[in-house]
Amino acid sequence: MQITVVGAGVIGLTTALVLEERGPTVRNRAAETGAATTSSVAGAVWFPYKAGPPARVAAWAVHTRRWLDELARTTPEAGVDVLTGYEITRDDSWPWWGSGLPELARAPAPVPGAPMAWKFTAPRAQPSLFLPWLESKLRARIERRTVTDLAGEPGDVVVNCTGMAARELAGDDTMYPLLGQLVIAGCGGADLTTTITDDRDPDSFFYIIPRRDELVLGGCSLPFPPGATPELDRAIKDRILAHAARLQIPIGEVLRERVGLRPYRLEVRLERAGRVIHNYGHGGAGFTLCRGCAEDVAKLVSG
């Protein structure tokens, strides 16, 4: 069995890895790798954000969390650490993503002026370590090339993991970008074991995700015209920093900013169409869903 995986973001790399573990020969082709992918921008914490449908996403997420937990315990070079997560929200009904999280509970929020929060454990991958680690685990080197016709790719099966580019490659105009902007700051005096999301106000969505050596502060999620190139917005940066100050999080100096486009559709497309298996549209949850989705691709290959 020969398989071509197109795409080397977190979805393509994880899919290639899982398929290789099952035995087939896997070729991985990608226009860009590493820092040039959307995956490199992500805060990359486990949290099922902007992805559907809920039941499948919850199952993929739980599956992926188990793998990330295991990597955090056994493989420090993969760049995964387990953090304590808090979601501050006005809604105290049980979160739709909470099935399979035995530790999920209401708890006091760890910042002043906030009510109760949902508390859970949240593995976080550091993309600058995690993506190269995934790549290093693949048997074959990634071939750098732009694919223009999925059906023309070699192999018994072709897996489409091209993120936002699937809009053109698969002719899928239900895909659209959701813009996210981040401020990367020094660690300052922040607690590096805690990630906080504050989604009480839809116009001032905020999160902090500590990496091993810096803090990721966000964010926003704004529909963006397909095909356009995003630019940094000063007002978004100022709002993010003001929110951190309001929550009295002692961040360090601002190091840089990043902007990226979440590859969003109402439902992740994970299905087989002839020789092609599609695995794209993971929105704001590519790291959260990668392993669960890859396992389902493997089932579609063998089934």
Ligand X SMILES: Cc1cc2nc3c(=O)[nH]c(=O)nc-3n(C[C@H](O)[C@H](O)[C@H](O)COP(=O)(O)OP(=O)(O)OC[C@H]3O[C@@H](n4cnc5c(N)ncnc54)[C@H](O)[C@@H]3O)c2cc1C
Which residues sit at the interface with ligand X, rule CB under 6 A? 6-12, 29-33, 37-39, 41-45, 47, 146-147, 161-165, 169, 180, 182, 260-263, 280, 282-288
The answer to whether residues 37 and 75 touch, using CB atoms and an 8 Å cutoff, is no
Nearer to ligand X, 108 or 232 (CB): 232
Shortest distance (Å) from residue 137 CB to ligand X? 16
Nearer to ligand X, 230 or 252 (CB): 230
Dist. CA 42–CA 31, nearest whole Å: 19
Shortest distance (Å) from residue 163 CB to ligand X? 3
Shortest distance (Å) from residue 9 CB to ligand X? 2
| Token pair belonging to 54 | 């809920």
Shortest distance (Å) from residue 224 CB to ligand X? 10
The answer to whether residues 206 and 200 touch, using CB atoms and an 8 Å cutoff, is no
Tell me which DSSP letter residue 65 carries: H
Q: Residue type at 201?
A: D
Nearer to ligand X, 65 or 119 (CB): 65
Nearer to ligand X, 38 or 194 (CB): 38
Shortest distance (Å) from residue 74 CB to ligand X? 21
How many helices and strands, by DSSP H and E, does the chain display? 6, 14
Shortest distance (Å) from residue 57 CB to ligand X? 11
Helical axes 10-21 vs 286-302, angle rounded to 10°: 40
Nearer to ligand X, 104 or 126 (CB): 126
Report the residue closest to ligand X, judged by CB. 9
Shortest distance (Å) from residue 222 CB to ligand X? 11
251-285 in b/e form (b: 16+ CB < 10 A) is beeeeebbbbbbbbbeebbbeeeeebbbbbbbbbb
Q: What is the rounded radius of gyration, in angstroms, for the C-alpha atoms of the chain?
A: 19
Taking the CB of residue 43, how many other CB atoms lie within 10 A of it?
28
Tell me which DSSP letter residue 95 carries: P
Among 223, 220, 258, smallest CA distance to 38 is for: 258
Nearer to ligand X, 168 or 191 (CB): 168
Dist. CA 166–CA 286, nearest whole Å: 15
Nearer to ligand X, 104 or 219 (CB): 219
